[in-house]
Amino acid sequence: SRPFIFIASKQHIRVYNLQKQVLVKKLLPGARWISSLSVHRSGDHLLVATYDMKLCWFDLDLSNMPYKIIRNHDEAIREARFHPKLPLFADCSDDGTVFVSHGMIYDDLLQNALIVPLKRIDKKLAETPKLRATTLAWHPSLPWLFTASGDKKIYLFTNVN
């Protein structure tokens, strides 16, 4: 693993090498406002959620532009997270939906990541009309997804794949 730190501003992500104390890369998601980022355990891939309804997947070995832009939501995406052990990732939005996807990263650097949508979880029955899915977290080893929302409740989803 490389000694990198990822720093997100409103519209850009800067990747610094802590050992050499230099800027390695400036990532350009093409978003007006970044809401969250998640680094894959390999350190070579990054998920960036934006308030302008885009989820950007970066392959740091390919480019400073997104490898894939996913537009599944009708409102702002609050957060996106890779699973710590399994090839899964999820994102949650103000529209009350959570998308769970399979994100396979291969050891062969010539093969691009495989992204397959798995499940759409609709939380529109939440009591608060806005901020229906504001944050999420994965169980450390199982494919269980926790989400929290503006109605002050935490939801557990155990059948996400």
- For range 52-72, the mean pLDDT: 94
Q: Which tokens sit at 140?
A: 């450390």
3-class DSSP state of 132: coil
Counted domains in the chain = 1
Tell me which residue of 58, 103, 55, 45 sits closest to 77, measured CA to CA: 55
87-to-46, 52, 100 alpha-carbon distances in Å:
13, 26, 11
Per-residue pLDDT of 7-19, as tens digits, reads 999 999 999 999 9
User: Considering the entire predicted model, what is its pTM?
Assistant: 0.89
Q: What's the token pair of residue 91?
A: 């994102």
Per-residue pLDDT at 129 exceeds 70: no
pLDDT digit string (tens) for 82-107? 999 999 999 999 888 899 999 999 88
* Domain containing residue 50: CATH number: 2.130.10.10
Place of tokens 């959620």: 49
Kindly indicate the confidence band of residue 119, based on its pLDDT and cuts at 50, 70 and 90. Answer: very high
Q: Which 8-state DSSP code applies to residue 110? A: T
Whether pLDDT at 128 is above 70: no
Domain that holds residue 48: 4-157
CA distances from 65 to 19, 127, 136, 151 (A): 25, 38, 25, 36
